[in-house]
Amino acid sequence: MSSILIQRLCIIGVGLIGGSLARALREAGVVGDVIGAGRNEQHLQQAVELGVIDRYELQLSQAVEQADMVVIAVPMLAMQTVFEQIKDHIPDECIITDVGSAKAQAVSAAEKVFGQIPENFVPGHPIAGTEKSGVAASFAELFKDRRIILTPTEQNSKAAISKVRQMWQACGAEVQEMNIQHHDEVLAATSHLPHMLAYALVDTLARMDDSQEIFSYAAGGFRDFTRIASSDPNMWHDICLANSEALLKVMHQFKDDLQLLINAIEKGDSEFLKQTFTRAKQARDTYTDKT
Ligand code: NAP
């Protein structure tokens, strides 16, 4: 039988991630009241109707009152404003965590507002998602068997880290810890770069004169490769600016490698092409065998 882990949970930003977390915790029976908060009353009302949250507040200062856990699930560049609005209202014992895709930026936003990294703020990032957004797209199983990366700071107490860890484990996730810089570099390569490539590819094709014909002939490979270009543009605007340093590094490396491929095709360098494709196929086959 499950026992209550969080008496009063406040989710700021009840979209895909915030909504899925609320659903998962409710389904696991480990949460008492779930208060949603955000800027759009219609969307929050929808979250109540879908049974994702019990009630909502438009004033973040009121939403966090008496909460024992606050989860910030808004786009990256909205985080600082959220911290500003909750700063003077967070109960002393309350733990704050976030789900943002770039951790240095989330921590720096908190530090700017609080004057130091708050000891009760445990940064986190679920490695799970879809190309959909909004509460209607949320589902309880999103985090099941998926990884959650926590990037605790030196200021965090063991108890705060443990509580956030337990929250995610209750959703069926595997929780790992990583250093902030390493997280941002790894995610730039594995998630942020592929999103940039998908957006750039689809945009290049869409701007061609015969784009309608091109898309009409696009087959499964195109669909697989470009699924993530349907992701929310506002969210990705924020992520690529929030993790620009690590992202630019890997984008420049990719640009150089793409140039090598262009050169090889121009020169008809079969050996280079076969070596590159074979290396990539082996790497992907190994990855898919493991997952
Ligand atoms: P989402 O479905 O669009 O939800 C975002 C939520 O934040 C919505 O409830 C939205 O409210 C609210 N919001 C947007 N701007 C706001 C603002 N300025 N002030 C207050 N609330 C605001 O997005 P999501 O996919 O859940 O992403 C949320 C966070 O999770 C982001 O930081 C993202 O980097 C991270 N993340 C996403 C994924 C993914 O695959 N989607 C995976 C891991 C982490 P409205 O109803 O008013 O729009």
pLDDT recorded at residue 1: 58
Ligand 1 atom closest to 12 (CA):
21
Please work out whether the CB of residue 239 comes within 6 Å of at least one atom of ligand 1: yes
* C-alpha–C-alpha distance, residues 91 and 65, integer Å: 7
Token pair for 146: 């998926």
Q: Residue 108 has what DSSP assignment?
A: H
In which residue are the tokens 């092409």 written? 273
pLDDT of residue 118: 94
Ligand 1 pocket check for 126: Cβ under 6 Å: yes
* 75 CA from centroid of ligand 1 (Å): 5
Using the mean position of ligand 1's atoms as its centre, give its distance from the Cα of residue 16 in Å. 7
Describe the crossing of helices 244-267 and 270-290 by its angle, rounded to 10 degrees: 140
Domains and CATH numbers, the chain: 6-178 (3.40.50.720), 183-289 (1.10.3660.10)
Distance of CA 72 from the midpoint of ligand 1 (Å) = 9
- The single residue listed with the structure tokens 């605007």 is 237
CB 255 within 8 A of CB 196: no
The predicted pLDDT at position 212 comes to: 87
Q: How far is the CA of 13 from the centre of ligand 1 (A)?
A: 6
- Closest C-alpha among 100, 143, 93, 140 to residue 118: 93
**d(C-alpha 23, C-alpha 134), whole Å:** 13
Instruction: Note the pLDDT of residue 122.
Output: 98
For CA atoms 108, 114, 117, 120, give the dihedral sign: negative
Rounded Cα distance between 160 and 93, Å, is 9
Q: How far is the CA of 213 from the centre of ligand 1 (A)?
A: 34
Which residue reads 């992202």 in tokens? Answer: 247
Q: What element of type H or E holds 7?
A: strand 6-12
Report the separation in Å between the CA atom of 73 and the middle of ligand 1, taken as the mean of its atom positions.
5
Place of tokens 């720096």: 108
3-class SS at 183? helix
Whether the CB of 72 sits within 6 Å of ligand 1: no
Q: In angstroms, what is the span from residue 279 Cα to ligand 1's centroid?
A: 37
Distance of CA 38 to the CA centre of its chain: 17
Pocket mutation for ligand 1, best pick of 235, 239, 241 (most atoms within 8 Å of C-beta)? 235
Cβ of 194 below 6 Å from ligand 1:
no
Distance between CA atoms of 79 and 130, rounded to whole angstroms? Answer: 21
Which of 99, 135, 138, 241 should be mutated for ligand 1, with most atoms under 8 A from CB?
A: 99
pLDDT of residue 2: 73
CB 153 within 8 A of CB 34: no
Of residues 242, 152, 142, 116, the one with CA closest to residue 191: 242
Which CA distances in Å does 178 have to 17, 116, 151? 20, 20, 5
Ligand 1 in reach of 14 Cβ (< 6 A): yes
Q: Residue 113, class by beta-carbon neighbours within 10 Å (0-12 exposed, 13-18 middle, 19+ buried)?
A: middle
Return the structure tokens found at 152: 């605790």
The answer, yes or no, to whether any atom of ligand 1 lies below 6 A from the CB of 19, is: no
Give me the pLDDT at residue 83, please.
98
User: Do residues 151 and 124 lie in contact, with contact meaning Cβ atoms separated by under 8 Å?
Assistant: yes
Note if the pTM is more than 0.85.
yes
Q: Which atom of ligand 1 is nearest to the CA of 100?
A: 32
31 alpha carbon, distance to own chain's centre: 22
Considering only CA atoms, which of 134, 140, 139, 138 is closest in space to residue 40? 134
Return the number of other C-beta atoms located less than 10 Å from residue 234's C-beta.
12
CA distance 6 to 126: 19
Please identify every stretch of the chain with a pLDDT value under 70, giving residue numbers as ranges. Answer: 1
Phi (first) and psi of residue 8, to 5 degrees: -130, 115
